[in-house]
């Protein structure tokens, strides 16, 4: 038997914080060595942090990475253990995303990434060059100071593997796994038994299964040990890297790390039998045949043995049942961990949330409450870093520490109900009860006096005073009155966030949290510079349907029972007067349901549908309930308001990324913000198709029905 102990890890790195990142790398290597591992894999670009973006274009970033690597190699960390460490490297005039293979204080090989992530949230081709030379390894001259320190002038650079005396090991970096012809297929035929995938993979709802199936598929028919390492946490942007470091052997998961955690360093260890890999490969005839005429991959010889022989004192890692979180848990833990990283690294003393008592702001409040629960739990488990951060942020006296999530929430979380004459007593009460359950410092404020003062000023200047539509006013007056309330709430929120800590003799400032969801952003159902204009938004890329499911889950699992009543209430902005014959409802205002919005969003972004393609697809999807003319009107209605309101995405609060159809303009959804909202060419084509379908009398069978809602005023949402 050839027994091999390997270690992979989740690291909570911070872009451009080299001290922090090197500290975590050293801790992970120490922990791996204490566990007896002889291979340690870290995440992609772990020295600099993955999210450096245009900082990768600065020579300083590459220089600092070499300085940090030299510091690691001059110490005992790589003694007796193969370490794969990620960092940017410049060769000649090109910049590469590389894995540095180190052993016994020397660099054995540098492996540049060959296929770069360049879609969705990723822009690697902006900063790096893909390595294209596959048939040979080339010499790389180490920087002078590194060469002198290590007594090593050059190292092999390129695509290849390391041939040890008893096994072969190779890197496959993140995106390369998901390419049509991944490197591991060719490497396996060349005898590589251990694959190390250093990754920088962000969280997205329901995405983990795709990742794990890829690891399992990579080794199920080819055999092999597949190690996966990932970042975990917020490294400085909208993304949360969701860890889940793991080890897969011959298609079986044998070790799995956490997906959501407040830990800065988590090491996952597995003990595997490489003879099981050789045995599986020898039993597959097609593998043997293809290996016999393989394309030769270059290699580097390493005169070391990594394996142990048969020993009954060593327990092998057994196959595990894969642990998945449900979507509701992902909404609680992902944004909750992201908020904690943002809070502890921003210098802020807490959060302030305009809490309306509606589903969206209540979801944000529950996520902050979940964050507080996670903090207290980790402190109880002995995490010294979480304890130190919590004591600092909560301003605890010597000897004190958080032991109760509600008490901790009261120190770091303000909630404010900013009611008007249009607010109902039900929402006011729901906000108050939820704040009490979470433990936040809650304020109840009336904004009527400020609204009246502004309207009086306007009347003095113009001689006119606007009225609500239900009182005989026009749509313009009605919308203006709603916008005044929304923008006053934004101003008050930032005033409270900056001054309430001073009132309570607390140092620092509080971050204002936004609470608009992905569907409202897509439709533009929010007011520019209202309470959507916060510092950060933990739910800005989560759909209304998922949030409502989360509220039902959180009412039980987070012990915030009032969330059940909040979820059951119909969504409303409460910005117009309530009358016996009229009550403002979001879906009526929008002219579409939230369920329909999710469909529009996925078709627009994920399936890349323009108006005509969306119309054709929805004719199949909704054909059993709607005529082609009705489908056409819905598609036109959506694209009209999407294009009218697209400009709002340019100032959208930075939002936690969780949904693949996010309309966020800055990083993810790169489309213009000035449209011809009439879409004359596209809508004319839809009209022609409708005529043809009506003329042919074609009946379209339903594949998945949707609800129908009458078109309303189309006013943008201006509430909390």
Token pair of 286 as six digits: 């097609």
What b-and-e string marks burial along 659-682, b requiring 16 or more CB atoms within 10 Å of the CB?
A: bbbbbbbebbbeeeeebeeebeeb
Q: Are 512 and 494 in contact (CB under 8 A)?
A: yes
> DSSP of 273-301, one letter per residue?
EHHHHHHHHHH-HHHHHHHHTPPPPPEEE
C-alpha closest to that of 44 among 197, 148, 265, 168:
197
CA–CA distances in Å: residue 708 to residues 280, 523, 594, 638: 55, 17, 11, 13
Phi-psi region of 134 (alpha: psi -120 to 50; beta: other; left: phi over 0): alpha
Q: How far apart are the first and last CA of the chain?
A: 64
Torsion of CA 396, 400, 402, 407, to 10 degrees: -70
Q: What are the percentages of helix, strand and coil residues in the chain, rounded to 5?
A: 45, 15, 40
Cα 238 to chain centroid distance, Å, stands at 7
- Catalytic sites, residue numbers: 44, 113, 174, 356
- The candidate with the shortest Cα–Cα distance to 316, out of 272, 350, 374, is 272
Distance CA(31)–CA(309), nearest Å, equals: 23
- Cα–Cα nearest to 187, from 303, 298, 302: 298
CA-to-CA distance for 107 and 260, rounded, in angstroms?
Answer: 33
Which are the contacts of 202, defined by CB distance < 8 A and separation ≥ 6?
Answer: 121, 239, 240, 241, 242, 657
């Amino acid at each position: 038997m050839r027994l091999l102990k390997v270690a992979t890890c989740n690291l909570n790195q911070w872009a451009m914080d080299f001290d922090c990142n090197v500290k975590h790398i050293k801790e992970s290597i120490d922990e791996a060595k204490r566990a007896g591992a002889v291979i340690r894999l870290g995440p992609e670009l772990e020295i600099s942090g993955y999210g450096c973006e245009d900082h990768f274009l600065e020579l300083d970033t590459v220089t600092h990475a070499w300085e940090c690597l030299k510091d690691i190699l001059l110490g005992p960390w790589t003694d007796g253990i193969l370490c794969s460490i990620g960092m940017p490297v410049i060769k000649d005039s090109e910049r590469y995303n590389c894995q540095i293979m180190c052993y016994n204080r020397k660099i054995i090989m540098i492996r540049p990434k060959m296929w770069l992530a360049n879609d969705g949230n990723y822009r690697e081709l902006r900063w790096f060059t893909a390595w294209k030379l596959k048939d040979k390894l080339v010499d790389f001259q180490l920087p002078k100071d590194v060469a002198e320190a290590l007594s090593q002038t050059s190292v092999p650079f390129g695509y290849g593997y390391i041939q040890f005396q008893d096994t072969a090991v190779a890197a496959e970096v993140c995106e390369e796994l998901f390419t049509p012809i991944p490197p591991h297929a060719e490497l396996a035929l060349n005898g590589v038994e251990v694959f190390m995938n250093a990754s920088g993979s962000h969280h997205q709802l329901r995405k983990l299964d795709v990742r794990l199936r890829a690891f399992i598929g990579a080794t199920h028919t080819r055999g092999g040990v597949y190690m996966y390492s990932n970042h975990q946490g917020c490294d400085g942007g909208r993304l949360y890297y969701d860890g889940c470091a793991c080890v897969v052997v011959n298609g079986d998961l044998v070790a799995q790390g956490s997906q959501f955690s407040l830990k800065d360093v988590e090491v996952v260890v597995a003990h595997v039998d490489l003879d099981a890999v050789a045995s599986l490969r020898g039993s597959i005839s097609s593998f043997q045949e293809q290996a016999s005429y393989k394309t030769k991959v270059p290699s580097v010889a390493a005169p070391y043995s990594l394996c142990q022989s048969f020993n009954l004192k060593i327990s092998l890692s057994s196959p595990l049942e894969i642990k998945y979180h449900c979507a509701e848990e992902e909404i609680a833990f992902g944004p909750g961990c992201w908020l904690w990283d943002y809070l502890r690294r921003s210098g802020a003393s807490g959060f302030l949330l305009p809490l309306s008592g509606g589903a969206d702001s209540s979801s944000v409040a529950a996520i902050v409450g979940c964050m507080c629960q996670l903090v207290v739990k980790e402190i109880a488990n002995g995490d010294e870093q979480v304890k130190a951060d919590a004591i600092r942020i909560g301003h605890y006296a010597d000897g004190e520490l958080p032991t109760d999530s509600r008490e901790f929430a009261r120190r770091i979380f303000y909630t404010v109900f900013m009611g008007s004459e249009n607010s109902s007593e039900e929402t006011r009460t729901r906000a108050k009860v939820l704040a009490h359950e979470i433990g936040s410092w809650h304020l109840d404020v009336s904004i009527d006096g400020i609204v009246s003062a502004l309207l009086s000023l306007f009347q003095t200047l113009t001689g006119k005073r606007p009225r609500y539509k239900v009182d005989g006013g026009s749509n313009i007056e009605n919308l203006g009155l709603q916008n005044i309330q929304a923008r006053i709430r934004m101003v008050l929120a930032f005033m409270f966030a900056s001054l309430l800590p001073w009132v309570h003799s607390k140092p620092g400032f509080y971050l204002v949290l936004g609470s608009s969801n992905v569907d409202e952003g897509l439709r533009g159902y929010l007011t520019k510079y209202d309470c959507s204009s916060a510092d950060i938004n933990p739910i800005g890329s989560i759909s209304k349907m998922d949030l409502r499911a989360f509220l039902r889950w959180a009412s039980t699992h987070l012990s915030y029972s009032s969330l059940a009543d909040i979820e059951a209430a119909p969504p409303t902005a409460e910005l117009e007067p309530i009358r016996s014959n009229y009550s403002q409802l979001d879906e009526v205002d929008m002219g579409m349901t939230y369920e329909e919005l999710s469909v529009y969003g996925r078709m627009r972004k994920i399936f890349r549908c323009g108006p005509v393609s969306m119309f054709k697809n929805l004719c199949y999807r909704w054909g059993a309930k709607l005529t082609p003319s009705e489908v056409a009107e819905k598609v036109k209605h959506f694209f009209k308001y999407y294009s009218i309101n697209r400009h709002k995405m340019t100032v959208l609060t930075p939002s936690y990324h969780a949904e693949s159809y996010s309309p966020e303009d800055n990083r993810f959804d790169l489309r213009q913000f000035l449209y011809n909202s009439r879409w004359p060419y596209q809508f004319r084509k839809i009209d022609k198709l409708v005529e043809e379908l009506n003329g042919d009398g074609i009946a379209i069978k339903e594949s998945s029905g949707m609800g129908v809602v009458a078109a309303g005023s189309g006013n943008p949402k201006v509430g909390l």
